[in-house]
Chains A and B, each alone.
Chain A
Amino acid sequence: MKKALISVTGLDTTGIIARVATKLYEMNINILDITQTILGGYFTMMMVVDLDGAQRSFEEINRELEPVRDELKMSIHMQRMDIFDAMHRI
């Protein structure tokens, strides 16, 4: 399974989760886990997703997230989970 972390940070507003989740749904990307919190007034959400169903490259998925970034005016960052596994698990 090709897992990635999508982190979303910025000013809190309505519909953040809905917009991001809808875009992922359109690309057939399954959400495996989701946490969200407000840190110092900033909305911070982290989603672990499974990219296998997407049938697109990492770069393409990233590009598809571009309009959501612009629309929400939030930082949306996607990176493969491997980096966290490498650092924190033996």
Chain B
Amino acid sequence: MIETREILQTMHMIQQENFDIRTITLGINLLDCSDRDAKKCAERVYEKICRTAANLVRTGEEIETELGIPIVNKRISVTPVSLICQDDPRPIALALDRAAAEVGVNFLGGYSALMHKGATQADERLLASIPEVLSETKLLCSSVNVASTRAGINMNAVKEMGEIIKKTAELTAAQDGLGCAKLVVFANAVEDNPFMAGAFCGVGEPECAINVGVSGPGVVKVALEHVKGEPFDIVAETIKRTAFKITRVGQLVAKEASKRMNIPFGIVDLSLAPTPARGDSVAHILTEMGLENAGAPGTTAALALLNDAVKKGGIMASNHVGGLSGAFIPVSEDIGMIEAVSAGALTLEKLEAMTCVCSVGLDMIAIPGDTSAATISGIIADEAAIGMINNKTTAVRVIPAVGKKAGDLVEFGGLLGRAPVMSVNQQKNNEFIARGGRIPAPVHSMRN
């Protein structure tokens, strides 16, 4: 029998410590919708999504009520659109956005291209359409994979993405560059990621699958409050135990959704995903470990411990683990990160170092509007290099804030939060980015 204190602990986690399931993401294969004619393809895409995901939101809400845990987002990820369209992909983008609205999901990801080794004509058409598409759609998210450990870095794609991010920011300038919040550039992108903006349904995935992303930085922070001053062995153990409990609920939700929708369970993403709400911050876990602010010397070590302990605790709690799995460190979506940047404690360079040891990368960072495309490409190349060499996923989601400079504030609202514009290194790199070509894949013996 469950003891009263255990029941109270669970209820406290949910009611006071912001424990929630961040997302149930339904992956849907769209390869069978492929057609030379974009309009025909768009019709098939719309029909398939509406049919497959008809019950997704209702199922999520039922589980939410019955288990008494918030499921914040219901989302869809689809096959990268560049793989299903041999024509102008814009009609498909609009169909995806309409389908997402029709079934009532919060976001739909997969307006994507995988071009880590090179671009197909379809990839190029999709890339060219991204700025307009993201300014014309609401729920659609886009991602581009420009590097992998096995293929190296496609520097032509890196160059193009710098320009595309600039253009997207300009076209959505009235909303503080919101379009860029829906666009992520990856190295080693994963096929079963339930998180946005980078979710897509990879070609190795089944016809459809339920992937769940958990959250709960507040729960970890509160758990650490009980071990103040204890050595790191205790800190790691405490995080592991907490991550185990969080992930078990993610597994339960995933299994339940899978059973009710008769769609196979894919993975649970062992993630700590913050929101801008107080008490839901990854940065505050780091400060609880004894740092004045995220960014203080020791931050990278603290994050490395956190990230590893979350995985160790979570892995035993779920049958299948995947996605991005680890702590996220978006700036605008985390009150502790916002405070750290505002206090001058956290720089772009420190964030880059932090991305070496945690999930994903430079995320939701506002940069001055006059930052050049080449500079953005340089930031992408650096981040891709970290991912390529370290055999991990890294990503860049930066938002050039048009007309704003370092220190100004941009406001996205909702889960996307708000961000102080961060200063960027002004040294020129135009000749470096203009070279193009590919950075060869690294050797994986003699690791130093």
Q: Which residues of A are at the interface with B, using a C-beta cutoff of 8 A?
A: 5, 7, 33, 35, 46, 48, 58-59, 62, 77-89
Q: Which residues of B are at the interface with A, using a C-beta cutoff of 8 A?
A: 1-4, 6-7, 9-11, 62, 65-69, 245, 248-249, 251-252
Instruction: Evaluate contact between A46 and B1: CB separation under 8 angstroms.
Output: no
Instruction: Evaluate contact between A58 and B66: CB separation under 8 angstroms.
Output: yes
Instruction: Evaluate contact between B67 and A7: CB separation under 8 angstroms.
Output: no
Cα(A7)–Cα(B11), bound, Å: 10
* Choice from B10, B62, B65 contacting A84 with Cβ under 8 Å: B10
Instruction: Evaluate contact between B252 and A46: CB separation under 8 angstroms.
Output: no
In chain B, what residue has the closest Cβ to A77?
A: B68
Count CB-based A-B contacts (< 8 Å). Answer: 54
Q: How far is the CB of B296 from chain A (nearest CB, A)?
A: 33
Q: How far is the CB of B239 from chain A (nearest CB, A)?
A: 16
Instruction: Evaluate contact between B4 and A83: CB separation under 8 angstroms.
Output: no
Q: How far is the CB of B255 from chain A (nearest CB, A)?
A: 9
Q: Which 6 A-B pairs have the closest CB atoms?
A: A79-B68, A86-B252, A86-B248, A88-B6, A83-B67, A87-B245
- The residues of A that contact B10 with a CB separation of less than 8 Å are 83-84, 87-88
In chain A, what residue has the closest Cβ to B251?
A: A86
Cα(A79)–Cα(B11), bound, Å: 10
* Choice from A35, A79, A85 contacting B66 with Cβ under 8 Å: A79
Cα(A14)–Cα(B273), bound, Å: 44
Instruction: Evaluate contact between A5 and B7: CB separation under 8 angstroms.
Output: yes
Q: How far is the CB of A36 from chain B (nearest CB, A)?
A: 10
Instruction: Evaluate contact between A89 and B65: CB separation under 8 angstroms.
Output: no
- The residues of B that contact A82 with a CB separation of less than 8 Å are 67, 252
Instruction: Evaluate contact between B2 and A85: CB separation under 8 angstroms.
Output: yes
Q: How far is the CB of A5 from chain B (nearest CB, A)?
A: 6
Given contacts A86-B251, A88-B245, contact A59 B7 (CB under 8 A): no
Given contacts A5-B7, A33-B1, A81-B2, contact A86 B66 (CB under 8 A): no
- The residues of A that contact B3 with a CB separation of less than 8 Å are 88
- The residues of A that contact B1 with a CB separation of less than 8 Å are 33, 48
Cα(A35)–Cα(B4), bound, Å: 8
Instruction: Evaluate contact between B6 and A87: CB separation under 8 angstroms.
Output: yes
Given contacts A83-B252, A86-B251, contact A59 B65 (CB under 8 A): yes
Instruction: Evaluate contact between A80 and B6: CB separation under 8 angstroms.
Output: no
In chain A, what residue has the closest Cβ to B13?
A: A87
Q: How far is the CB of A7 from chain B (nearest CB, A)?
A: 7
Cα(A4)–Cα(B171), bound, Å: 51
- The residues of B that contact A87 with a CB separation of less than 8 Å are 6, 10, 245, 248-249
In chain A, what residue has the closest Cβ to B316?
A: A90
Q: How far is the CB of A78 from chain B (nearest CB, A)?
A: 8
Given contacts A82-B67, A83-B67, A83-B69, contact A89 B252 (CB under 8 A): no
- The residues of B that contact A88 with a CB separation of less than 8 Å are 2-3, 6, 9-10, 245
Cα(A86)–Cα(B68), bound, Å: 13
- The residues of A that contact B69 with a CB separation of less than 8 Å are 79, 83
Q: How far is the CB of A57 from chain B (nearest CB, A)?
A: 9
Q: How far is the CB of A54 from chain B (nearest CB, A)?
A: 14
Cα(A58)–Cα(B69), bound, Å: 15
Q: How far is the CB of A58 from chain B (nearest CB, A)?
A: 5
